């Protein structure tokens, strides 16, 4: 977004942490809309992960707990999930999410990150991180710690985005080209390492640098077209609002393109993209995984 989550997450020692730990970050509402809008596709992804009855799963940077619940369902009554996040507000939200199902007794929550929690080596059948790896201070070191937490023969899996290709909307070509440049400029002002927002295309390299050479990679696409359902519309409206906030200040040198972007991206405009009866959109995500060697 993770944001999938369309709104930019802060740089922290955990993927979901906020500068104000007792408050949910600004992107939380968009994250919730994302998980609701794409629940079928995301559950299908989770169903394809190598989780078996009785497995032990680590959900790193669990956020709102959606994946924790789905993973606990996959692991069955004898399975266990450890859900970790730096943000107490997210952990409270995750507990509520898990309690809505029948898996509350299978999920344990812990506040902190991999560097400071006593997470056992060789302790988990699956170590999972969803749309959060890029916001960790050092993704390679995070993957190394994730690999240590996995048992020999266990799996380390990462679900991530690439900001440039995450949400593909039917912009006019000249608008899209200008938008991507403006977005990169905005991200460069948010982070000393703006390239991390494009980590999706480099997951294989990151895995290899962490010592997980046998990395498998596939893209995971989600398509929508008009008319949008309420959750779809809520997510894409949040995405467009965040894009307007980031990109518009950096389009001043191209007033015609800026005005066209605002016409298409402003919900009060008669040309708003989400109101177009021919609107289509594709979300492109990346799934990478590797098996920890035995012996």
> What are the residue ranges in the chain where pLDDT is below 50?
1-20
**Residue partners of 89: CB distance under 8 A and separation at least 6:** 18, 21, 22, 23, 24, 28
Domains of the chain, start order? 28-163+193-225+285-291 (3.40.50.150)
Q: Going by DSSP bridges, is the β-strand pair 216-225/107-111 parallel, antiparallel, or unpaired? A: unpaired
For residue 151, give Cα distances in angstroms to 99, 102, 123, 125: 28, 27, 5, 6
| CA distance from start to end of the chain | 36
In the three-class reduction of DSSP (H, G, I as helix; E, B as strand; rest coil), residue 221 is classed as strand
How far apart (Å, rounded) are the C-alpha atoms in residues 147 and 145? Answer: 5
* C-alpha dihedral sign at 236, 241, 243, 248: positive
pTM: 0.89
235-255 confidence digits (pLDDT tens)? 999 999 999 999 999 999 999
Residue among 101, 106, 146 at smallest CA distance from 125: 146
pLDDT of residue 246: 93
Q: Going by DSSP bridges, is the β-strand pair 280-291/216-225 parallel, antiparallel, or unpaired? A: antiparallel
pLDDT of residue 5: 32
**Residue partners of 102: CB distance under 8 A and separation at least 6:** none
């Amino acid at each position: 977004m993770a944001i999938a989550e369309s709104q930019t997450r802060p740089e922290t020692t955990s993927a979901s942490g906020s500068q104000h730990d007792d408050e949910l970050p600004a992107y939380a509402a968009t994250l919730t809309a994302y998980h609701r809008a794409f629940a079928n596709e995301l559950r299908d992804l989770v169903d394809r992960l190598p989780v078996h009855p009785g497995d032990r799963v680590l959900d790193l940077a669990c956020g709102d707990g959606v994946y924790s619940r789905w993973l606990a369902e996959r692991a069955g009554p004898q399975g266990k999930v450890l859900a970790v996040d730096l943000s107490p507000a997210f952990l409270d939200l995750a507990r509520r999410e898990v309690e809505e199902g029948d898996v509350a007794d299978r999920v344990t929550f812990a506040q902190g990150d991999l560097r400071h929690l006593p997470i056992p080596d060789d302790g988990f059948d699956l170590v999972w991180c969803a749309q959060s790896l890029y916001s960790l201070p050092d993704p390679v070191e995070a993957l190394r710690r994730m690999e240590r937490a996995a048992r020999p023969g266990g799996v380390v899996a990462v679900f991530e985005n690439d900001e440039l290709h995450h949400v593909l909307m039917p912009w006019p070509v000249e608008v899209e080209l200008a938008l991507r440049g403006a977005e990169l400029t905005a991200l460069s002002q948010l982070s000393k390492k703006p390239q991390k927002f494009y980590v999706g295309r480099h997951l294989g390299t990151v895995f290899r640098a962490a010592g997980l050479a046998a990395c498998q990679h596939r893209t995971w696409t989600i398509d929508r077209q008009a008319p949008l359902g309420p959750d779809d519309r809520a997510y894409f409206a949040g995405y467009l609002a965040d894009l307007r906030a980031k990109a518009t200040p950096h389009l001043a040198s191209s007033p015609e393109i800026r005005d066209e972007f605002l016409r298409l991206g402003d919900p009060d405009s008669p040309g708003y993209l989400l109101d177009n009866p021919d609107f289509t959109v594709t979300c492109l995500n990346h799934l990478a995984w590797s098996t920890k060697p035995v012996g």
